[in-house]
Chain A
Amino acid sequence: MSTTTTPRTARTAPSMMSSVGLVAGREISVRMRSKAFLISTGILMLAVLASVMFGGLASQNPELTKVAVIGSSADAASSAIAATDSLEAVTADSLEQAEQMLRDGEVSAIVVPSEDAASANPVTVIGLDQAPSDVVGALSIRPTIELLDEPGQNPFLIYLVAIGFGLVFFMSAMTFGTTIAQSVVEEKQTRIVEILMSTIPVRALLAGKVVGNSVMAFLQIVAIAALAILGMVVTSQKVLLGTLGSSVIWFVVFFAIGFVMLAALYAATASMVSRSEDIGSVTSPVMILVMLPYILVILFNNNPTVLAVMSYVPFSAPVGMPMRIFLGTAEWWEPLLSLAILVLTTVLTLALGSRIYSNSLLRLGARVKLSEALKR
């Protein structure tokens, strides 16, 4: 048979790096072939694009109020309207036609030059049955306004951005966290893990899984961030881009590291069970860690104390710190400090996770107790 007649093929023992690469490559190729994954990514992308468009509309000026002017020639009325930024002039041929438009509700008011040229007001506003206060307000002469503090962000926009960061973090972490948990249990359940363990070091196996899924999660986040920035550019929301741009970039950086930590936790907890039905219950503590930042940022996006705490706790920092950067409440060194804390926690989590993982992989049947999984 060929096994005895063919000469042995030359081979080199794969390095740690290439083992990790092979495992990660398999994780990625399996994911890319999964229709469920491609569809859910598509939906997430669309949701992000839609919310950027919607957010753009919300942050733009409200729709212009229409007022009628008589005749198309420039007069005091049309120049007064042009001086405002909330009124739009609709030309009527005569006063009768303008009144008809007012009665039909096509315009909110009629603006005509004052008859008495010496009057303090150059224009007269004609309303239907009550004074059109928004038109009057727009045409009034305003006192000069000075603010002691920097102007804050639009509260509605803050809310949208909070949901955006929270939801994207939550969705991506959940999707890929669950994926890595399933992949761990699949190997354990099918026992291929024994073959893998006899071939490559357990650390390489765990690292490959974490790297593969983190790369996928990272690519998804980068794609979402790129889509969001592109959406802002296309809808020419320069203002939003300026304030949101840097926080989006920080979000991507924090997510990249934060997800590695979550992936290690997901892999470690999942390795303690032997059946895919048990993944849900064993990973629920990690799931709460993923959900908490999402809920907190929605509830407390206007509470500086809660946000400050969130931006330093490693599990919520990927949402909390970008939020504070967006709000302009973070000093320049704060993201760096928080990132250092996150990196440190991630390294510790990886060490702990790798111990749980290698201790639990061969224990079939009942769920492995945490105390046993942590044994040396």
Chain B
Amino acid sequence: MLEIRNVNKSYGERAVLQDVSFTVGRGRMTGFVGGNGAGKTTTMRIILGVLSADAGTVSLDGAPLTAADRRRFGYMPEERGLYPKMRVHEQLVYLARLHGFAPAAAKRNATALLEQLGLGERANDTVESLSLGNQQRAQIAAALVHEPEVLVLDEPFSGLDPMAVDVVLGVLQSHAASGAPVLFSSHQLDIVERLCDDLVIIADGRIRANDSTDALRKQHGSSRYEILLGGGEGGTGDAGWLREVAGVSVIDFDGGYALFEAGDEARAAVLERAVASGQLASFGPHEPSLAQVFREVIR
């Protein structure tokens, strides 16, 4: 388990991270979301030891991280970085060797990984000659070529087409399945929703939530319901009367549709009245999307 505890970091007067603590479990895909400038990249750099924290610790399975531990991390920086004029394969071999691999093993890993990511035919092209999507795959290969035991990826999916997203997703999931903690940040909440087991939400340098996605959804949607009222002949109904029911607070309203929060008693009253009106088309508990959870959490 990767554990970040009470990490603080400031640049001059500006506090970028305040008391940041969260955990990334083994075998768990953990999404790290937050607005621009919330502190995601700084946190990741501190985990990797590229930046040093002003205070706080980062530990793996209870032991503080050492440079040797970090060498077993796979890292993908936010802004992509590879040598533009170096060949893809050669570059991967170089990075693997910097991580301590012998030349033969480094070559074998690079070749296998490029095949796996669908870049086998581009192995001897220079990075700058690749399309953006392929550069992105090469970047992911660079994070994985040394068989990392922990993955920290900053925006791994930005710039990928849906096919490439699936390929990368598969690779990351197989890493998580083999027991590696995987932490990745993303702006694309729909991908995060599909992919991650746990979620860490950061805003203004503070951690606002750190839990499994299921728990977060429940927490933010337990007393919410959606109702759809149909009109007499296929027209839309009017759910306006909901506002008059005691104990109901309407969150969203559009003609026959309403999203509302209500206790058990109020819910029963609403349902009864809807059935009586003869207009009820659907009714059910509301499962908030991660985007909604996110908006609420950082509010």
A interface residue numbers (CB < 8 A to B): 1-4, 8-9, 11-14, 19, 22-23, 26, 30, 186-187, 190-201, 362
Is B163 interfacial (CB 8 A cutoff)?
A: no
Q: Which are the 7 A-B pairs with shortest beta-carbon distances?
A: A191-B81, A192-B81, A194-B77, A198-B48, A11-B100, A1-B174, A4-B178
Q: Is B116 an interface residue (CB 8 A)?
A: yes
SS of A interface (majority): helix
Task: Find out whether the CB atom of A196 lies under 8 angstroms from the CB atom of B68.
Answer: no
Q: How far, in angstroms, from A295 to B241 measured CA to CA in the complex? A: 91
In angstroms, Cα B80 to Cα A192, docked, is 7
The answer to whether the Cβ of B102 comes within 8 Å of any Cβ in the partner chain is: yes
Is B203 an interface residue, CB under 8 A from the partner?
no
- Bound CA span A375–B81, Å: 27
- Can you list 30 A-B pairs, Cβ within 8 angstroms, ordered by A? A3-B144, A3-B147, A4-B174, A4-B175, A4-B177, A4-B178, A9-B105, A9-B147, A11-B99, A11-B102, A13-B68, A14-B99, A30-B85, A186-B83, A190-B81, A190-B83, A191-B79, A192-B83, A194-B48, A194-B77, A194-B81, A195-B75, A198-B48, A198-B50, A198-B75, A199-B71, A199-B95, A199-B98, A199-B99, A362-B45
Q: For chain B residues 58-117, which have a beta carbon within 8 Å of chain A?
A: 67-68, 70-71, 73, 75, 77-86, 94-95, 97-102, 105, 109, 112, 116
CB neighbours of B86 from chain A (8 A) = 30
CB proximity of A123 to chain B, nearest CB, Å: 74
Q: Please, how many angstroms separate the alpha-carbon atoms of A201 and B50 in the complex?
A: 9
A1 touches B171 (CB 8 A): yes
Q: Please give, as numbers and ranges, the residues of chain A lying within 8 Å of B49 by CB-CB distance.
A: 197-198
Interface residues of B (CB under 8 A from A): 45, 48-51, 67-68, 70-71, 73, 75, 77-86, 94-95, 97-102, 105, 109, 112, 116, 142-144, 146-147, 170-171, 174-175, 177-178
Known contacts A3-B175, A9-B109, A198-B75; A22/B170 CB under 8 A: no
Residues of B within 8 A of A9 (CB): 101, 105, 109, 147
9 additional A-B pairs beyond A1-B116, A11-B146, A186-B83, beta carbons within 8 Å, are A4-B174, A14-B100, A23-B98, A187-B81, A187-B83, A192-B81, A199-B99, A201-B67, A362-B45
Q: Is the CB of B82 within 8 A of A2?
A: no
Give the chain B neighbours of A200 by CB distance below 8 A: 98
A11: B residues at CB distance < 8 A = 99-102, 105, 146
**A37, chain B: closest CB distance, angstroms:** 13
Find A195's partner among B102, B116, B142, B170 (CB 8 Å cutoff): B142
- Collect the chain A residues with CB atoms within 8 Å of residue B98's CB: 14, 19, 22-23, 196, 199-200
How long is the Cα–Cα vector from A30 to B86 in the complex, in angstroms?
8
Q: Which of A3, A194, A362 contacts B171 (CB 8 A)?
A: A3
- Cα of A193 to Cα of B146 in the assembled complex, Å: 17
- Are A197 and B50 neighbours in the complex by a CB distance under 8 Å? yes
**Min distance, Cβ A15 to any Cβ of chain B, angstroms:** 9
Cβ contacts under 8 Å, B99 to chain A:
11, 14, 199
CB distance from A194 to the nearest CB of B (A): 4
**Which residue of A4, A190, A201 contacts B82 across the interface (Cβ within 8 Å)?**
A190
Q: How far is the CA of A205 from the CA of B231 in the complex (A)?
A: 71
